[in-house]
Each structure stands twice: as structure tokens, then as C-alpha cells.
């Protein structure tokens, strides 16, 4: 039995009806107390927990199949290679890419964006070209473009958002010109939850002659993706946000663009032939995968895809939308609570502040109540600057959360306010 067969055997038991308690039972980490209270994990936006199928697939690989991938003729190497490439095909289907050549393994979203900026950007941008970057981006979708501008003389044009957390589409239309070469935008804001109209923005950017790079880290665990429908040029995301292992992610890119781009790193695997006179690079996708890859993590990613497919992204989205609506209604009853990000189209997170109370204090008291949230600027300092705050508290919901978890959050918030009222 292979690691793939182990995963298939487990996910086949999942019911077609969304059963959140059955799902919760699949996540061993949730069966614990923190400070004597049952763990309420509301930090999936930072990193999601892992189901037993993912853990088992990774362990099985190490116990039975581990070897380096590709080129090996012995049995373990062939099994490892099969598991590694089967995961790529699973991801291809998961995002509906046209070919597995368009699915590049990277360490995560950050490396995916840096790869595009370093390869496509360095080869195609020049002095006074423009890159549109939205104000709501994670630092990982800002800094690589700033570095590209330093190397090439290109310029960043900032696309702002309104106080509801929605991009100013009139400004977007005005910013687009024949100087626009790249649009870098998040699909879902990690700090606000806003779901941006990627398909429409891509269409307009293409009409102006620009390529579109999408940070999909916060979108992939919450919604069904279709690269051929979105039509963006590059889309990147991380396994650990979608219930898979850390240290592995995906860069999707259109085959023609990837084929024309130079390699990102040099070394083994990304070559066909090496002499001291000349090196011939490998075909896609291996041209961008230098060195020994994160094999076990990739097998785990494949298991995470199986798990999400078995439950259904539409079912997950409906469940999480119910949680968001319930939590938003609860928040409306809390005096002195402000929600940052009230976009019409929004993923399942609440970023908030409490009058007169620092987010770090909020997070600390909630932790003693067993409630795990994220506090700080969320690697999105321009978002904080927009609202004139240094930090927010963020509760982000996943497929395993319940209304009882939301109740625990607001019971904890009441405790926070009582503590600071003394």
C-alpha cells in the first residue's frame, strides 16, 4: 500500500453531508486543553491545523517510501517519485490548471511571488514601467516588487481601498496604462477578509498589456479555484493554509510564460546537461525546482487536496459563511468593538479592536480562556496605517470551527472588557 492509498482509504469514509463534529474528530490537535480550557483554535488564517489523513500520509511516506525522487531505478525511489508527481496532478486538478507543467513546487506563497519577481520581472521590466500593488497586500506581495523596482527602475503604483476594505475600482481603471506591466493583488486579504474581483481585474489588466500575479494564500482553503476561468498569469499559495504541511506551496503559471522565463535557482534537477562550457535547462515544471525537494511535505499536500475534495470546497464555504455571519452579528452587540473590513464579499475572518485595549492584551487574556487568535499587524502594515492603528486582533475561522467556538470567543471578549473596566 502506498501513501496515496492510505489517504484514499481514510477520505473515502467522509460523509457527503457536512458534519462538523466528524471533521473536528479528524484533527488530533483540537482534542486538548489550553490553560485548563478546551482549545478554541481561531488562527487558521496564520496556519491551519492538520487532519489525521495528512499526518498519516506523511508518516507513511517516511516509514515506507522515503527516497530521493526522479532518476532512481530502485523501488523506493520509484514509489517516492510516483507519490511526488501524483501530488502535482492532484493540485493541477484542484485548481484546474491546463497542464501539470504549470504547477511548480515552491516553499510557499512568499517564494512563489519572489520567483516571479526575480525571473519574469527581471527579464521583462525596465525603467519607468509600472507595477500596480494594492494597499491591502501582505508584505510578501509588496517587498519583492519594491526590490524589483530597485533593480530595474520600475515604479509601484498603489491601488487604495475604502474604509469597508474594498478596492477602489475607479482608481484601478485610472491607474491602468500602457506603462502597467504587472498587477500584484491578493485574492483574499489576510488582514480584512475582503474577496477581490480577480477575474474582472485580470481582464482589465490584460487589456492594458499587463500580467497578473495573485497571492492566493488566503483563498485556497475557502473557495473553489479555476485557473482557466480566472485567467490570471500567476497564482501562488501555501500548503499550510489549506490543512497541509508547512514548507511546501504552489506557483501556478501559464505555460508559455513559464517556458520563456529563466530559472530561479541553479543546481540539480533543473538541468538536462551540464558542462563547463554550457548548461541546458530542464523542461517545465522541473526547470524551477532545483535541488532535493520537500518530498514528504508534498505527499502531505496531496493528502490535504484529497481531504478538501472529499468534503467539498462549496460545503466548506457555506459552513464558514454561516460562522462569519454569526460572529458579525455577535460583534454588533459588543459596545466599543470595531470591525476592520466590512466588504460585501468577505472570507471567514474578523479583524477587530476594542476601545482602550491593546490587541496584545486581548490576545493574552483570550489565550488564558483557551481561545487562540492572532494579534499584530498581520504582515500588512499599510492596512494598519490606513485605519490609523498599530495592530488588530484577528479571529480566522476554518472548516473545523463551530458556533460554540464563536460563543467562546465572545465570552472571552467579555472577560477582556471586564478585566480592563476594573
Dist CA 138 CA 214 (whole Å)? 11
> What residue ranges of the chain are covered by domains with CATH 3.90.1150.10?
312-421
- Tens-digit pLDDT profile for residues 77-95: 999 999 999 999 999 999 9
For domain 65-309, give the fold.
3.40.640
Dist CA 10 CA 136 (whole Å)? 39
According to DSSP, the residues that pair with 374 across neighbouring strands are 394
Question: Any idea which residues carry the catalytic annotation?
Answer: 379
- Tens-digit pLDDT profile for residues 127-182: 999 999 999 999 999 999 999 999 999 999 999 999 999 999 999 999 999 999 99
CATH for the 312-421 domain, from 3.90.1150.10, 1.10.730.10, 3.40.640.10, 3.20.20.70: 3.90.1150.10
> What residue ranges of the chain are covered by domains with CATH 3.40.640.10?
65-309
Element (H, E) at 157: strand 155-159
Give the cell for residue 226: 479555476
Give the cell for residue 23: 471533521
Element (H, E) at 85: helix 75-95
Q: Verify cis geometry, omega within 30 degrees of 0, for the bond prior to 345.
A: no
Nearest to 404 by CA among 314, 327, 325, 321: 327
Q: CA dihedral in degrees (368, 369, 370, 374; nearest 10)?
A: -70
User: What's the predicted TM-score (pTM) here?
Assistant: 0.95
Dist CA 136 CA 305 (whole Å)? 28
Low-confidence residues of the chain, pLDDT below 70? 1-16
List of long-range contacts for 80-83, beta carbons under 8 Å, 24+ apart: 80/295, 82/2, 82/4, 83/2, 83/3, 83/4, 83/295, 83/298, 83/299, 83/302
Q: What percent of the chain has pLDDT over 90?
A: 95
Amino acid at each position: 500500500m502506498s501513501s496515496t492509498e492510505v489517504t484514499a482509504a481514510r477520505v473515502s469514509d467522509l460523509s457527503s453531508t457536512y458534519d462538523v463534529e466528524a471533521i473536528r474528530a479528524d484533527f488530533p490537535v483540537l482534542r486538548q486543553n489550553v490553560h485548563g480550557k478546551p482549545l478554541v483554535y481561531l488562527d487558521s488564517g496564520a496556519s491551519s491545523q492538520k487532519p489525521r489523513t495528512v499526518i498519516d500520509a506523511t508518516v507513511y511516506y517516511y516509514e515506507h517510501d522515503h527516497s530521493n525522487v526522479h532518476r532512481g531505478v530502485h523501488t523506493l525511489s520509484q514509489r517516492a517519485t510516483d507519490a511526488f508527481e501524483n501530488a502535482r496532478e492532484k493540485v493541477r486538478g484542484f485548481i484546474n490548471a491546463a497542464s501539470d507543467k504549470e504547477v511548480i513546487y515552491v516553499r510557499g506563497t512568499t517564494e512563489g511571488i519572489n520567483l516571479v519577481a526575480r525571473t519574469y520581472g527581471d527579464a521583462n521590466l525596465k525603467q519607468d514601467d509600472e507595477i500596480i500593488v494594492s494597499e491591502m497586500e501582505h508584505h510578501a506581495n509588496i517587498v519583492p516588487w519594491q526590490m524589483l523596482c530597485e533593480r530595474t527602475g520600475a515604479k509601484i503604483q498603489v491601488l487604495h481601498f475604502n474604509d469597508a476594505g474594498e478596492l477602489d475600482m475607479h482608481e484601478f481603471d485610472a491607474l491602468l496604462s500602457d506603462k502597467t506591466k504587472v498587477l500584484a493583488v491578493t485574492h483574499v486579504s489576510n488582514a480584512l477578509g475582503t474577496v477581490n474581483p480577480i477575474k474582472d481585474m485580470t481582464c482589465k489588466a490584460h487589456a492594458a498589456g499587463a500580467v497578473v500575479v495573485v497571492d492566493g494564500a488566503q483563498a485556497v482553503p475557502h473557495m473553489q479555484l479555476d485557473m482557466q476561468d480566472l485567467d490570471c498569469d500567476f497564482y501562488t499559495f501555501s500548503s499550510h493554509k489549506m490543512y497541509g504541511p508547512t514548507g511546501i506551496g504552489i506557483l501556478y503559471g501559464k505555460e508559455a510564460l513559464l517556458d520563456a522565463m529563466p530559472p530561479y535557482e541553479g543546481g540539480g534537477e533543473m538541468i538536462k546537461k551540464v558542462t563547463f562550457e554550457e548548461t541546458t535547462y530542464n523542461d517545465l515544471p522541473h526547470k524551477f525546482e532545483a535541488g532535493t525537494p520537500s518530498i514528504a511535505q508534498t505527499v502531505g499536500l496531496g493528502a490535504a487536496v484529497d481531504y478538501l475534495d472529499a468534503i467539498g470546497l462549496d460545503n466548506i464555504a457555506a459552513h464558514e459563511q454561516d460562522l462569519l455571519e454569526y460572529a458579525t452579528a455577535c460583534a454588533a452587540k459588543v459596545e466599543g468593538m470595531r470591525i476592520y473590513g466590512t466588504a460585501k464579499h468577505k472570507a471567514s475572518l474578523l479583524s477587530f479592536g476594542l476601545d482602550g485595549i491593546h490587541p496584545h492584551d486581548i490576545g493574552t487574556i483570550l489565550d488564558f480562556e483557551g481561545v487562540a487568535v492572532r494579534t499584530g499587524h498581520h504582515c500588512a502594515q499599510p492596512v494598519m496605517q490606513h485605519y490609523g492603528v498599530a495592530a488588530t486582533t484577528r479571529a480566522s475561522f476554518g472548516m473545523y470551527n463551530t458556533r460554540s467556538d464563536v460563543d467562546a470567543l465572545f465570552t472571552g471578549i467579555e472577560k477582556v472588557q471586564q478585566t480592563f473596566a476594573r
